[in-house]
Structure 1
């Protein structure tokens, strides 16, 4: 009897372990890592293959229960995907691609799009490694894109898979980081120079912009700055919102001391060409191996303006700070001198966002046709390799779009899931060429459902901004190119009287901000004549007029169908979807959770049968 039952048992195991058909992604070592949740209980490593569009995750959790990892959005975990796995006390492995039906209920996907590579447990940790396509054909799976991704991680103390608030975490991560710092060259000779304020008493105000002027490293011959990192002083709460370093024109007469950047003394707002920047959530940044910030030549800036934005929301007294930016420089020169071009909506004073808006879009236009004239000499093609996005708390998404001869060339950079708490310099997948005559448009989406009054553009965190900084080479003298709409036209479209810009802005306070008026204001801002302001490192300013072009949305790419997966109708685009490849040798089939429960019943029946046969 025993010999007759064993082949049936093996047959059941074979049928219960479906082949996912998803290709393996990168194998160890995985280059990227983050701790998730408090107390470093969860440690995530990951890597990806940009060609096959497959990402591999390795999650290690301090538990002997189940673990889970997936993708969610900023508003709710309901509908989020979660890949769940664990090891039972008898050593049986379970693994399943699931999604949240409500806040604490999981349901297995009809299409299993994750391939298990490793699941093990010891006395302390449970470790799960799996791969999945960037975009599957399962509507329950979140896409892995170049946007900010909100990674959902959860675990249990035993093998009962149930979500509990205290063991469920969401962390924003830029997963598709193209260049890893370890892939970059470290110069054989390098030096460190700190640009910082010292023992600055943070005012007991919600928002403070502290500025001071500091010299760049003094060198006798040309050097390149190749890396920078924040130098932050630990406080009981995060107070430093952002740090910017602006290059000063060498003809500038600069004040001394530390003062409000935008206060009574306008001299402290001099120098507007950003060359380095850090914001909440960012880390260090090393430039690509062929570019750097030039210092030490007669054409290079000798001084910078250091701007630190403090947010002391709790008005705490007696807190001193010595934060800043640490720069690394080398005499081993790179091929190109880099610059930074600031784009977006001119922050003061026209920018406004209505209250109670589910969505409101602002635009900032840049026209490059007069760059040669204001630069003083012809401007060569701009090669963009990186970017930094910036809004405040109401910002939801940003993008920079490029046009040439009236036609959209493409999207330079974007983030459809922008997170105020994760602002970092990011590298482009491919470098983008901007030719003189091109138009550049920045589009920012906001949500103000939690606000009852107008939000205006301004320096405070509760004000708003719409900015994108493009990192490029070769350097020119243009520091910023930003736009704003004719506010008088906007006021008239909303039925308000206005004869100048100040009256136009004041008129916005008289509008009844119904959903209809919010959309009317958004359309009026887009259709109005746009004032474009171009500024150089020496504070030369030139204005011109333009109009906002339409943006052609970028279509979603093809999805990767798993074996036996369910393809949603919306994914059957002309580009089609990629059929699943054959299961690669070496992949280990595993048991989905629902099959596992069935097998446990089968095992019990078989054991009872075996015992009865003895």
Structure 2
């Protein structure tokens, strides 16, 4: 009887599936999805486990041939990784973790770090689901990071994997999105209000900033705006670069009509506290359930400045636009009133970037020690929950670093693979506290190898910006805190004569830009004293000064060592690697492999204990 019980237990445990924590299984719903091509042939679903640092992808392609998915380098497809799979005519499947050795040639990785979960083919689609670690110890696998990732998908019409540029697509995606919109509350009493420009004739100029002033919804008691989305008109090409709503102080005297935001009439640039913003590549954004934009109270803004930046690079004539922002608001109040703090390099021509620079860093300092004085009342600690990063075409990376009492605390937000065409509001994984007296430093990384003249800070897309918008609560009256270097010091360090800021800016045109002078200019900008400009919602301005602190790099976490496949010499496990959990081991075979409960019990000595117990006559 005991032996029969043992055999039954062994059979039961052999059929049981292992526990895999929060990692999605072959049939689990994956929360995020996106089409990767303009024709909607390639559909990607994904989800991830932040604690285990495992991401699961499901690629569905309208083909009976092979399919592939991976992460691509920014500038070239060479050395990009690609997980490849398909179903043969006889029903057998193939699956492999590979990389590109040149633009067209695939080669299998020595270490197989992707685990197949499902691979099927029907009359329409081939569907491949697999998981992989965020960071494997294989140098052929690009890391999955909390940055913009360039996801590459490819497919073929038969079962011979080879790249065809007509069937290879790359899309920038922020994969590690923390909050999914479906997880947020949608109030039943939601009211929709559009803040838009109407039938505006877009000028034929390359760059136009159109501004108008509009009232916020008129309500008899306090409400909260909890969501916004762009309202865009379809044109033959994308002409709207960004749309921003600025809150106006209630004492502001505002102009009427539509005007150039930064033109002859300075009144159209009034109101500088951003409340929401959309830029190229962004979608809708819903605030966390405990925060919202307050409207309807005496101190709440009653008007906004709507700013739309048009990029008409083909100088098209006769194009009318009626774009704007749609806001959703409710009488169901949230716990906190939110605000937005603008940081970075003050946008004007003192911000310069040399031509031919493989890498050039710019810095903007914020000192919060005067916030309470300018606010007119004590300021509670700022609780940061989200952010938006912004540069123009030369931008490659941004980060915001926090300091307290001269000591670096943390990197609040960053994107080491910034893409101008994917600018969106993102949630922090954990809320960050900023105390009065803290310093905040924005670092922007640029590349200008394709330019033969200086790039200056300014509003045009061919100018540059270095901006970070922090979303926080509880709201105060500070709208922006930005810095810029002493340009006279920079000019003198570069051997140029200048007696005022204008001459300092003009002197940059006299410099012969070489790799050596580029690095010298970067160093001078970092060593120069920073002028810090702090503004309130009522346009009050206060200046202070400071110095750029050093940034201590954040160490990378350990990689996940694969137990699948051979390890080539170049794939040797680096120091600090951690072994892959057995259930997450790599798979280079066609079947979904898992560790049975019987093997788990055997490894823990449970079977031996049971045998001993049975032999003792229990």
What secondary structure sits across from 1:39 in the alignment?
coil
Matches within 5 A, 1:61-100: 61-100=61-100
TM-fit CA distance, 1:577: 1.9
TM-fit CA distance, 1:349: 2.8
Q: Return the alpha-carbon distance in structure 2 between the equivalents of residues 312 and 355 of structure 1.
A: 24
TM-fit CA distance, 1:38: 2.2
Q: Return the alpha-carbon distance in structure 2 between the equivalents of residues 580 and 303 of structure 1.
A: 55
Q: 1:357 to 1:443 in 2, by over 3 A?
A: same
* 2:296 aligned residue: 296
* 1:144 aligned residue: 144
Matches within 5 A, 1:260-339: 260-339=260-339
TM-fit CA distance, 1:399: 0.2
TM-fit CA distance, 1:572: 3.3
Native 8 Å contact 2:96 2:588 kept in 1:
no
* 1:215 aligned residue: 215
Q: Is it true that 1:590 corresponds to 2:589 in the alignment?
A: yes
Matches within 5 A, 1:359-438: 359-438=359-438
* 1:26 aligned residue: 24
What secondary structure sits across from 1:40 in the alignment?
coil
Native 8 Å contact 1:23 1:583 kept in 2:
no
* 2:187 aligned residue: 187
What secondary structure sits across from 2:228 in the alignment?
strand
* 1:3 aligned residue: none
Q: 1:283-330: per-residue Cα shift (whole Å, max 9, x none)?
A: 000000000000000010000000000000000000000000000000
Native 8 Å contact 2:367 2:440 kept in 1:
yes
Q: 1:201-230: per-residue Cα shift (whole Å, max 9, x none)?
A: 000000000000000000000000000000
TM-fit CA distance, 1:23: 8.5
Q: 1:588 to 1:398 in 2, by over 3 A?
A: closer
Q: Return the alpha-carbon distance in structure 2 between the equivalents of residues 553 and 52 of structure 1.
A: 23
What secondary structure sits across from 1:512 in the alignment?
coil
* 1:572 aligned residue: 574
Native 8 Å contact 1:22 1:133 kept in 2:
no
Matches within 5 A, 1:46-125: 46-125=46-125
Q: Return the alpha-carbon distance in structure 1 between the equivalents of residues 139 and 588 of structure 2.
A: 23
Q: 1:566 to 1:406 in 2, by over 3 A?
A: farther
Q: 1:68-104: per-residue Cα shift (whole Å, max 9, x none)?
A: 0000121000000000000000001000000000011
Q: Return the alpha-carbon distance in structure 1 between the equivalents of residues 76 and 94 of structure 2.
A: 27
Q: 1:254-286: per-residue Cα shift (whole Å, max 9, x none)?
A: 000000000000000000000000000000000
Q: Is it true that 1:173 corresponds to 2:168 in the alignment?
A: no
Native 8 Å contact 2:73 2:79 kept in 1:
no
TM-score by length of 2: 0.90
Matches within 5 A, 1:515-526: 515-526=515-526
Q: 1:393-425: per-residue Cα shift (whole Å, max 9, x none)?
A: 000000000000000000000000000000000
Q: Return the alpha-carbon distance in structure 1 between the equivalents of residues 260 and 497 of structure 2.
A: 35
Native 8 Å contact 1:22 1:114 kept in 2:
no
Native 8 Å contact 2:43 2:59 kept in 1:
yes
* 1:8 aligned residue: none
Q: Return the alpha-carbon distance in structure 1 between the equivalents of residues 510 and 572 of structure 2.
A: 43
* 1:537 aligned residue: 537
Q: Return the alpha-carbon distance in structure 2 between the equivalents of residues 532 and 107 of structure 1.
A: 52
Q: 1:118-175: per-residue Cα shift (whole Å, max 9, x none)?
A: 1001121100000011111111001011100000110000001100111111100000
Comparing 553-562 with 418-427, greater Cα deviation is found at 553-562
Q: 1:40-95: per-residue Cα shift (whole Å, max 9, x none)?
A: 11000001111111100000001100000000121000000000000000001000
What secondary structure sits across from 1:420 in the alignment?
coil
What secondary structure sits across from 1:204 in the alignment?
coil
Native 8 Å contact 2:133 2:560 kept in 1:
yes
Native 8 Å contact 1:22 1:132 kept in 2:
no
TM-score by length of 1: 0.91
Q: 1:570 to 1:496 in 2, by over 3 A?
A: farther
What secondary structure sits across from 1:523 in the alignment?
helix
Q: Return the alpha-carbon distance in structure 2 between the equivalents of residues 477 and 341 of structure 1.
A: 10
Q: Return the alpha-carbon distance in structure 2 between the equivalents of residues 579 and 161 of structure 1.
A: 31
Q: Return the alpha-carbon distance in structure 1 between the equivalents of residues 162 and 124 of structure 2.
A: 20
Q: Return the alpha-carbon distance in structure 1 between the equivalents of residues 176 and 485 of structure 2.
A: 35
Q: Return the alpha-carbon distance in structure 2 between the equivalents of residues 224 and 399 of structure 1.
A: 30
Q: CA RMSD in A?
A: 1.6
Q: 1:329-356: per-residue Cα shift (whole Å, max 9, x none)?
A: 0000000000000000000131000000
Q: 1:243 to 1:570 in 2, by over 3 A?
A: farther
* 1:441 aligned residue: 441
Native 8 Å contact 2:63 2:124 kept in 1:
yes
Native 8 Å contact 2:477 2:537 kept in 1:
yes
* 2:456 aligned residue: 456
Matches within 5 A, 1:504-515: 504-515=504-515
What secondary structure sits across from 1:308 in the alignment?
strand
TM-fit CA distance, 1:189: 1.0
* 1:4 aligned residue: none
Unaligned segments of structure 1, at least 5 residues: 1-20, 593-614
Q: Return the alpha-carbon distance in structure 1 between the equivalents of residues 311 and 137 of structure 2.
A: 43
Runs (4+) off by over 4 Å: 21-24, 567-571
Q: Is it true that 1:135 corresponds to 2:157 in the alignment?
A: no
Native 8 Å contact 1:210 1:309 kept in 2:
yes
Q: 1:461-500: per-residue Cα shift (whole Å, max 9, x none)?
A: 0000000000000000000000000000000000000000
Aligned positions, number:
569
TM-fit CA distance, 1:588: 8.6
TM-fit CA distance, 1:566: 3.7
Q: Return the alpha-carbon distance in structure 2 between the equivalents of residues 571 and 298 of structure 1.
A: 62
Q: 1:571 to 1:187 in 2, by over 3 A?
A: farther
Q: Return the alpha-carbon distance in structure 1 between the equivalents of residues 441 and 461 of structure 2.
A: 24
Q: Is it true that 1:497 corresponds to 2:497 in the alignment?
A: yes
What secondary structure sits across from 1:462 in the alignment?
coil
Native 8 Å contact 2:151 2:170 kept in 1:
yes
